[in-house]
Amino acid sequence: MKRFTWFNATSIALGFAFLYIPILLLVIYSFNESKLVTVWGGWSTKWYGELLQNEGILNAAWVTLRVAVVSSTLAVILGTLAAIVLVRMGRFPGRTLFSGLIFAPLVMPEVITGLSMLLLFVAIGLDRGFWTVVIAHATFSMCFAAVVVQARLYDFDKSVEEAAMDLGATPVQTFLQVTLPIIAPSVISAWLLAFTLSLDDLVIASFATGPGATTLPMKIYSQVRLGVTPEINAVSTIMIGLVTLGVLVASYSTKRASQRQERELKAVDAGAK
């Protein structure tokens, strides 16, 4: 009865065209020989060459990459703990506030989060720079990480953990040897999500940063305000390429991991019967 009509196919096609054409045009025009962004002057990779000469952009890219790696690692650790607290700790005083604190950063306008972080750093006298951006990014990404891991914790079979405990495993052993391998795919996607959120963020980083810690989005933003340049198209293309590759690799490997897990669980089930 669920028929896939022409109307359905057309809406999907148009929708995806709308989502992807702007990105495709950006990528195509990064290979444009001409300095004028909208005039096609033939294929060329010269803007990528120019990028390698551009100290400012290279430095910013390096800062961004370091911030993203450190903050997403921190975010995943905190986010996984938060997810376990939400799913496994039952009721405790202050639980409502806690789930509100996990939830609010997901929708909070960035200008508010950014401003409040900055005012905190100033109030406690923390020098602004690399670490303040890391803290700011870890704080909002941990909430995204918590949501991703939480979803996985909800639908996995708690009896596996109980079995491990019955067989004499300590809670820490149980977590490391049973729980963590099961939720690993979601922890990896949470890390990836936190990483791209950090890579992408302009507003919060602008507030939280200090001298010497200009991130790539800040650099891109300041140049974009002056107009569209083929160099920015080239940086953007590299970033899009990296993120796409990362997402595809991660989704492929988590798919394989969960297939393997399913096979193993089936084998165990068959053995039990």
Interactions with other proteins, residue window 175-234 (CB under 8 A): 193, 196, 199-200, 202-203, 206-207, 217, 220-221, 224-225, 228, 232-233
Q: Any contact of residue 119 with other proteins (CB under 8 A)?
A: yes
User: Closest by alpha carbon to 57, among 199, 228, 218?
Assistant: 218
DSSP, residue by residue, 170-207: -HHHHIIIIIHHHHHHHHHHHHHHHHHHHHH--HHHHH
**CB of residue 54 vs other proteins: minimum separation in angstroms?**
17
Position among 45, 49, 62, 89 found at the interface with other proteins (CB under 8 A): 89
* Backbone CA torsion sign across 245, 246, 248, 253: positive
Please state, in angstroms and rounded to a whole number, the distance separating the CA atoms of residues 2 and 255: 27
Query: Do the beta carbons of residue 60 and residue 214 sit within 8 Å?
Result: yes
Q: Any contact of residue 107 with other proteins (CB under 8 A)?
A: yes
Q: Any contact of residue 50 with other proteins (CB under 8 A)?
A: no
Please state, in angstroms and rounded to a whole number, the distance separating the CA atoms of residues 192 and 253: 13
Residue among 105 and 129 whose Cβ is closer to other proteins: 105
Residue among 183 and 199 whose Cβ is closer to other proteins: 199
Query: Do the beta carbons of residue 61 and residue 213 sit within 8 Å?
Result: no
| Ramachandran angles phi, psi of 127, nearest 5° | -65, 130
**CB of residue 225 vs other proteins: minimum separation in angstroms?**
8
Residue among 244 and 253 whose Cβ is closer to other proteins: 244
Position among 58, 69, 101, 126 found at the interface with other proteins (CB under 8 A): 101
Residue among 243 and 257 whose Cβ is closer to other proteins: 243
Residue among 143 and 187 whose Cβ is closer to other proteins: 143
Q: Any contact of residue 272 with other proteins (CB under 8 A)?
A: no
Give the residue carrying structure tokens 């914790």. Answer: 153
Contact string (CB under 8 A) for other proteins, positions 2-41, x = contact: xxxx-xxxxxx-xxx-xxx-xx-xx--x-------xx---
For 53, residues 6+ apart whose C-beta sits below 8 A from its C-beta are: none
